[in-house]
Structure 1
Amino acid sequence: MIHVTRDLLTVLLDHADERDPLSANLQLSATPAAEFDTQTGLDPETPVLTHFTLADVGGSVNAVFGVDLGTPAGRGRARFLSHPDGALELSKTDDLAAVVLVAVPPYDDDHVAAFDRAGEPVELGIIDAVPPEESVPE
């Protein structure tokens, strides 16, 4: 099972709807369940998808130097894709990751699914919890 916070899923579905008829392609990051301030009912080591990275972040540095600065260290092993054509499955042209969330119109909870890298469906659990607040050290 793959877990995602309600807030992140809402933002992802809204983003896909705003981009339609263009597709969305965002890198996702997870936070271990143990780091949440509230009880999630999950094993403490269970990753919960909590954040996304815009596609263009770090792109110019990567293009010039081949260094991906857009993905925080140890994160980004999941991806969110939208398929405006309505195909709720992975395609051969999709960017893959260990886990891929795919959404189709009308971009609601009933039109999103999770898949593993091989395209096999994975159960998607939606968690009503807020990840811990992060800050940049001064």
Structure 2
Amino acid sequence: MPRLSSCTMSLRQLSVAGVALIGSLLLAGCTFPTTAPPAMPPASPTTVPIPTPTPDPIIDTGPAKGAMGETETDAEGTIRYTTVAGDVGGLICDRFGRAYWQLDREENNAGFDCHTILGVGVVVIPTTDEKPR
């Protein structure tokens, strides 16, 4: 009889092992859904906007030899400079940090060049104009 119970024991162990094997095989076939990371769009070249150059502000550094005239500024911020005896075009430009093409005459809005003669009482307006090409 002891032999029968040991056989029964082996059969019981075998059936538990079989059930465990079948269960593990079934579970091995099951997969849990995985969330894949979203597909990244292909890299496209980015265009960096080119900033528009901001002209230097017009700053009156004050009277200096060759640029002793008076200034007045209107509500829009436009500076008007009135020439006096002894004024020199290039020194007026220096006073306002401008180049010769950045001074206009109020009376006819004409610019200056290397040959411009300034008389007393001429009103000039410093501008932020770009250099003509």
- TM-score greater than 0.5 by the shorter chain: no
Q: Compare relative contact order (CA 8 Å, sep 6+) and give the higher one, 1 or 2.
A: 1
TM-score by length of 2: 0.25
TM-score by length of 1: 0.25
